[in-house]
Structure 1
């Protein structure tokens, strides 16, 4: 008991006009039960405001895809009307119906649906290699009484597979990189294809003829993705760079020179929207700045002559390059394909601070200016790059087939053999998505 604190004694105090204790006059207030929590709803009430929403995918198509084989008719929902091949989304659902136009359905003992996929690879003439991506069978109906004439289909589309090394990977999208001409390079090809098969099995009555009916159709697997950030409107690069510098990613690289020339190197600054994740149909704004000593800038970008002769400056191109790397039979080969081009237009750079010198001499097709240090000049370009929005195949990595995309800046001297500068390339890895960024969505779009 020695560890316990002693309770101090208090003397009782009474009011002079009453014999009742002061504590006897104090009673706890009355409490009423709190009202139950309101039912959850995704839509705000009149006095509520939505602060943040998770982005939802685009609304599913309202059409359907229909194909037939003998007495079997397959209808797949949520498709674009008139397409020749249905499209399924990884991690999505395959919904539809199977119609059985059979007089005697009592002999049917099973209806199955199989999703299959394979990848065919060829690298550097080492021969082809086939990889099984998908082989999944679902029972639509078993021998459990008379089969209905319309069999419902509701199946979760798988999203992963196990490669030859035992690693779990995401299923690649349907693609075919075999159509482009190879030229003198070694063959590099890859094809990813998926099929849907339905088999209706019936009892053998005479043991001679097969009682199995089947239907097979290819389908496109398109894992849907979208950027988590939109591209801000760019009325002026300089204004957005001041107010929202976090909206830009800067890739800096050196434009090297031949050491024997005595010409100093330059710096290229390529600005892309931050995140480097864009919808494949986006027009991507970018900015280019080339900085360095004025003598080096003049050597790479000579100005027009006094007689008005055309500029002999370096050629600047910005393009989208897709790199396809294939590994087959322990041989690896890489092929580069240009899938997008940029257009350039020179713009006037941001004015230097008041009192600082600006020099516009000697440059053609560009607008040189003087920064805070008079010996440093810059050449800026502004452009937009338009992707082919008919394509829906984005980059992916499944080990033996890797598809990467780059935005590549190339600066090539007019006469590489005599120029003090080497041809300059600055590749920036980017990712493209199948769906655009959406600021808001309507009530008809699924969650």
Structure 2
């Protein structure tokens, strides 16, 4: 078939299609922005650390003004320069970045440590470099995002220090350091005479944010029972308060929290509590219920944010004569000692307000703010873990004279460094920071039990 016999091309379907929309940098009324990630502007100040003699300087770029220590986030590069006052006397110039996690048992003296990262780069070596040693040598070392303790792989944990009092007590330290060294002796010599080193610790502060925004809170109930809580945005945790007095009924407690259970450190955490029972039973419970004003002394009904620091003593075995080094499972008791040691502290308490009531129910709304001193969320790494929980509790001041047994409802949550953002403007995050995290097991814990140990789902 010749080319002349071919039919003429007519893009009829294309011709009938509507014109392509005109591009605009901002969404129009019928459009919705799904994501916009802009690289946040890095600071331009240098952090400088000099050796005692002044002959060696370590300059770290992209640091905040007047920072007491350099700071880096997830996957960041430790960048800067090494400056030498007398480069002609150097034989070798190196930079190293290292991190460590140390767990020490105070009473028995057992200790363990993990290398979280170790990177060494030779910037100049007289034996391999033909050019003279420059007075200023740039470098860049990228921090890993994970580490392995030989059994499991974990995200690289943040800088942290904790002390668990008691017998046995534990010290836990996670620290990072960057060092520059200039060697002036022969590289084959064990003692490099005239070598200089300058080191500085730095803060590793990985950032995270919730994958979804908080649900919109209701200002006040306009009608009857708060049906808006029975939606996918809210998750209900139910528990029963049993009566201790004849003639009273059980009280059903519904503790509503945002379904994702992931909250920013800087934003208030909303919640609702509904008590449902007969009118007589609710009237008997009200003196023990939430109060809408701050009163002196401990209140019977509270919502708290608790942080549990946990050390698995399998990772910290005693050393010395008579030491026993056996593998045993979590929560097992060995020679009368539990294999988990933990400390729980309050890092926030909720405030209540009355939302509405009916013939057989009463509803309270509340919000909880995280203590401003808390700067990082929970993590788990090599025998050390930090876990956060929302806890609804009712603890009578005098249990022998109160009509209802105490209540304790525990909800595992996760805290993030940053707030949710619709477009991510001014922030950079890895893909995993958008996903809803795997939290603790959803199995119900006993009402009166202490804050439970963490279990992967």
The match for 2:452 is none
Matches within 5 A, 1:83-102: 83-102=67-86
- Name the CA distance, whole Å, in 2 between partners of 1:86 and 1:345: 43
> What SS does structure 1 have at the residue aligned with 2:232?
helix
- Name the CA distance, whole Å, in 2 between partners of 1:303 and 1:402: 34
Matches within 5 A, 1:8-407: 27-30=6-9, 51-53=33-35, 55=37, 59-69=41-51, 70-102=54-86, 105-122=87-104, 125-133=107-115, 134-143=117-126, 144=129, 145-163=131-149, 165-178=150-163, 182=165, 186-204=168-186, 210-236=193-219, 242=228, 245-258=231-244, 261=246, 263-302=248-287, 315-328=300-313, 329=316, 331-347=339-355, 349=356, 368-370=357-359, 377-407=360-390
> What SS does structure 2 have at the residue aligned with 1:246?
coil
Residues 118 and 132 in structure 1, CA contact (< 8 A), matched pair in contact too: yes
- Name the CA distance, whole Å, in 2 between partners of 1:94 and 1:416: 57
Residues 124 and 333 in structure 1, CA contact (< 8 A), matched pair in contact too: no
**Structure 2 vs 1, CA of residues 204 and 211 (structure 1 numbering), >3 Å: closer, same or farther?**
farther
CA RMSD of aligned residues (A): 3.5
Structure number with bigger Rg? 1
Deviation for aligned residue 1:230? 1.7
Question: TM-score, normalised on structure 1?
Answer: 0.74
Residues 157 and 379 in structure 2, CA contact (< 8 A), matched pair in contact too: yes
> What SS does structure 2 have at the residue aligned with 1:422?
coil
Q: Does residue 1:440 correspond to 2:426, yes or no?
A: no
Deviation for aligned residue 1:254? 2.0
**Structure 2 vs 1, CA of residues 431 and 302 (structure 1 numbering), >3 Å: closer, same or farther?**
closer
* Aligned partner (choices 410, 415, 440) of residue 393 of structure 2: 410
Residues 49 and 199 in structure 2, CA contact (< 8 A), matched pair in contact too: no
> What SS does structure 2 have at the residue aligned with 1:301?
helix
Residues 27 and 33 in structure 2, CA contact (< 8 A), matched pair in contact too: no
> What SS does structure 2 have at the residue aligned with 1:177?
strand
**Structure 2 vs 1, CA of residues 264 and 121 (structure 1 numbering), >3 Å: closer, same or farther?**
farther
Deviation for aligned residue 1:289? 0.9
